[in-house]
Copies of this chain bind each other. A is one copy, B any other.
Amino acid sequence: MNIQNLSREQLQERLAVLNEKYNGYKSLELKLDMSRGKPGADQLELSNDMLDPALLGSFKASNGFDVRNYGILDGIPECKKLFAEIFGVPSDNVIVFGNASLTIMYDYIAQCMIFGAGAEPWAAQSGIKFLCPVPGYDRHFSILEQFGIEMVNIPTDKNGPDMDMIDEIIKDEKVKGIICVPMYSNPSGITYSDETVRRFAALKPAAKDFRVIWDNAYCVHHIEDTHDTLLNIFDAAKEYSSEDFFIEVTSTSKITFPGAGISALAASDENIKAIKSRMTVQTIGYDKINMLRHAAYLKNKAGVDAHMLRHAEILKPKFDAVLSTFKSELSGKGIASWTVPNGGYFISLDVCEGCAKRTVALCKEAGVTLTGAGATYPYGKDPEDKNIRIAPTFPSRDELCKAVEILCLCVEIAAIEKILG
C-alpha cells in the first residue's frame, strides 16, 4: 500500500487509525533514547577484565619505561604497534593520545587555525572552507562551526562522496580540507569504495595546506560476517605522493570503554614531525597506564578482531530488529528508505521530503528521543528535511523494538500529514 496512491479520504481514514495507535503509545509515558551512538550496558561488560591490575605487570612498557611516571610523548611502543597494525602504517607514523579521537581532531584543526598546516595560519586566511560529505557526523560539524570554517555539503551515495564535485570545488584555494568517516560512515554505515579512496588519494587541491581528516572511527566495527573493507588511504596516497594531505584517527571508544579508551592518529613523516613539535608543549604524554592496559588486553589486531566479534554478537540482533521492523512497517509505502550497513553504529533513514523534523518531534512527544533532525548536516540544516540518524545500540532490544515501532508510526503520520497539507 503505497500511500502516495491513496485518495484524500483513504489518507484521512488511515491517519485517524494511526493517530489512535499513536495516542495509545503516548499514554504509556515511555522514555526511550536512540539519540546517540553509545554502546549498551552489556557491551560495557565485555572489557571489564582489562581493568585487572595483573595485566600491568611491573608497570614497564616494552622499552622498559615505567608507565606510571612522566614521559613518552607519542605513546608506549606496544600501543603504537597495535594502532600501526590497525591503521596499516609503520609505528613511526602513529601517535597515541588520550581518551578521544574527537579531541585529536579538534586540537589538530585548532592548531591549523593558529599555526597553519605548513602555510599561513588558517585563522589568518579569511573565508576558508571545508567539505562535508552528507549526511555526516554532527560533532565534526560542531568543530568546524566553532572555528568559523564555512562548511560545504557534498552528497554521498553508496560508494562515498561525489568525487567529481570534490575535484571541482577544491580548485578554490579557500577550500582547506574534507572531514569524513570513510568506513561504516556515520550515519549511513556505507564504506567508501576502492575507487573513491583512490580518488581521494589523487586529489589535486589548489590549497597547499589542504587536509583530509580521515576519521576511521569504525575501522574494526563489523556487525555482519560479510563485512566491508576499506582501502588503506596511505597505501593509495603513496602512488600520488599525497600522504601529507591525510590525517587519520581512530580510538578504542567502541572497542573497550567509551569513557576510558585510548585514541590514535596516523600521518605522514612530515605531519608527525609537525604534530609532535606542537604537542610537546601541550603535554608531557597521555595516560600510559591506560595504554599498557589496552596493549596487554587487546594484544594485536587479531585480538581486537576477536574482541569485536563479541560486540557484534550483541549489536547484530539490535540492527536486525530495526531493519526488520523498517521492512515490515515502512516497505512499499513510498514514505521511507534506509541503509543496511555491515558495521558501525548507525542506520540512516530517509523519510519523505520535509518530514524529518515532524517525525522526530512526534517521536519525542511519544517518549522516543532520536538524534535531532538536521543533525546529520552542517549547521543542523538538512536542505530536504528528510534524514534521520538511527542509533540502535544503547537501548535494550525490547526497548529498541518498541521505539522503532513508534518511529515507523511517526514516519507514516508525518508523511500523510504532509500530503494532506
A interface, CB within 8 angstroms of B: 36, 38-39, 41, 44, 47-48, 51-53, 56, 59, 66-72, 98-100, 102-103, 106-107, 110-111, 113-115, 121, 123, 139, 142-143, 146-147, 253, 257-260, 278, 281-290
The CA-CA distance from A146 to B72 in the complex, in Å, is: 20
The CA-CA distance from A282 to B52 in the complex, in Å, is: 30
The CA-CA distance from A283 to B147 in the complex, in Å, is: 15
Q: What are the 10 closest A-B residue pairs judged by CB atoms, nearest first?
A: A260-B289, A70-B258, A106-B282, A51-B53, A259-B288, A44-B68, A68-B257, A260-B287, A142-B281, A99-B287
Q: Which residues from B are CB-within-8-Å of A72?
A: 259
Q: Is B56 in contact with A259, judged by CB distance below 8 angstroms?
A: no
Q: Which residues from B are CB-within-8-Å of A59?
A: 44
Q: Which residues from B are CB-within-8-Å of A114?
A: 110, 113-114, 123, 147
The CA-CA distance from A260 to B47 in the complex, in Å, is: 19
The CA-CA distance from A286 to B97 in the complex, in Å, is: 12
Q: Which residues from B are CB-within-8-Å of A38?
A: 69-71
A-B CB contact pairs (8 Å), 9 listed: A44-B68, A67-B260, A68-B258, A71-B259, A98-B98, A98-B286, A110-B111, A139-B281, A260-B287
Q: Which residues from B are CB-within-8-Å of A257?
A: 68-69, 289
Q: Is B143 in contact with A281, judged by CB distance below 8 angstroms?
A: yes
Q: In the complex, given contacts A44-B59, A110-B111, A259-B287, what are 15 additional A-B residue pairs having Cβ atoms less than 8 angstroms apart?
A: A39-B69, A41-B66, A53-B53, A67-B259, A67-B260, A68-B258, A70-B253, A98-B99, A98-B287, A100-B284, A103-B282, A107-B107, A114-B147, A259-B289, A287-B287
Choose among A71, A72, A114, A142 the residue with the greatest number of B CB atoms under 10 Å from its CB. Answer: A114
| Distance in Å: Cβ of A76 to nearest Cβ of chain B | 10
Query: Given B41, B48, B100, B284, which contacts A283 in the complex, CB threshold below 8 Å?
Result: B100
Q: Which residues from B are CB-within-8-Å of A103?
A: 282-283
Q: Is A259 in contact with B281, judged by CB distance below 8 angstroms?
A: no
The CA-CA distance from A290 to B293 in the complex, in Å, is: 12
The CA-CA distance from A275 to B398 in the complex, in Å, is: 39
Q: Which residues from B are CB-within-8-Å of A278?
A: 146
The CA-CA distance from A286 to B98 in the complex, in Å, is: 8
The CA-CA distance from A287 to B59 in the complex, in Å, is: 20
Query: Given B36, B51, B113, which contacts A56 in the complex, CB threshold below 8 Å?
Result: B51
Residue of B nearest to A258 (CB): B70
The CA-CA distance from A281 to B281 in the complex, in Å, is: 22
The CA-CA distance from A45 to B100 in the complex, in Å, is: 28
The CA-CA distance from A146 to B283 in the complex, in Å, is: 13
Choose among A98, A114, A281 the residue with the greatest number of B CB atoms under 10 Å from its CB. Answer: A281
